Amino acid sequence: MESSTLFKCTRCGYCCQGETTVSLDDDDQRRMIAELDMTREEVARRFWRITGTVVQMKIADGHCIFYDNDSGCRVHEGRPWRCGQWPLHPSILEDESNFTAISESCPGIRKELGYDEFCRRLRHLLADQQKVIC
Ligand code: SF4
Ligand code: SF4
C-alpha cells in the first residue's frame, strides 16, 4: 500500500506554519545535522529551540525556520520523521473527529474515500511500515 493512495501533498505549506513545531528525536537530530553538513553546535545555535531535553525547530515569521514560501521545506531530506508522517497520523484510526480535523487542515488528504475506507488503507500502510513517511 502506497501513501499516495491516501494522500498527495499539494505543497500548500499549512503544516509548516504556526508557533510550534514537532520535536526531534535523536535520529532526527543526527539526520538533520548530516543533511545540513554543519556541526551539531552550529545547527543547534541556528535552527533549534532547546527546552530541557526537548529539541524543536525555531520559528521565524510565524513558520518553521526551514520553510520557504517559494521552495517549501529547505531541509526536506533531513526533516524530522514526524514531518514526514504528516498527515497520516495514527490518531486518525482512533476517532473520526481526528480524520475530520486533519482533512480540514490538509488539502492533500483524499477525504473523498470516506472514513472507513481511509482507515482500512491506513491500517494496511501502518502494518507495512513502522514509520510511515509520506
Ligand atoms: S498541509 Fe498537507 S498538503 Fe499542505 S503542505 Fe502540509 S502535508 Fe502537504
Ligand atoms: S522541517 Fe520542513 S516539513 Fe518540517 S515543519 Fe519545517 S519546513 Fe515543514
Read off the pLDDT of residues 47-90 as tens digits, 9 standing for 90 and up: 999 999 999 999 999 999 999 999 999 999 999 999 999 999 99
Report how far residue 96's alpha carbon sits from residue 116's, in angstroms, rounded to the nearest whole number. 9
Of the bound ligands, which one is closest to the alpha carbon of residue 134? 1
Give, for ligand 2, the residue of 23, 35, 67 to mutate: max count of ligand atoms closer than 8 Å to Cβ: 67
Q: Which grid cell sits at 98?
A: 481526528
- Ligand 1 interacting residues, C-beta cut-off 6 A: 9-15, 86-87, 106-108
Q: What is the pTM of this model?
A: 0.89
pLDDT (tens digit per residue) in 5-14: 999 999 899 9
Decide if pLDDT at 132 tops 90: no
Report how far residue 44's alpha carbon sits from residue 71's, in angstroms, rounded to the nearest whole number. 23
Answer yes or no: is the C-beta of 24 below 6 A from any ligand 2 atom. no
Q: What is the share, in percent, of the chain residues with pLDDT greater than 90?
A: 86
Is the sign of the CA dihedral 9, 11, 16, 18 positive or negative? Answer: negative
Answer yes or no: is the C-beta of 75 below 6 A from any ligand 2 atom. yes
DSSP-assigned letters across all residues of 45-73: HHHEEEETTEEEE-EETTEETTEETTTEE
Give, for ligand 2, the residue of 21, 49, 77, 134 to mutate: max count of ligand atoms closer than 8 Å to Cβ: 21
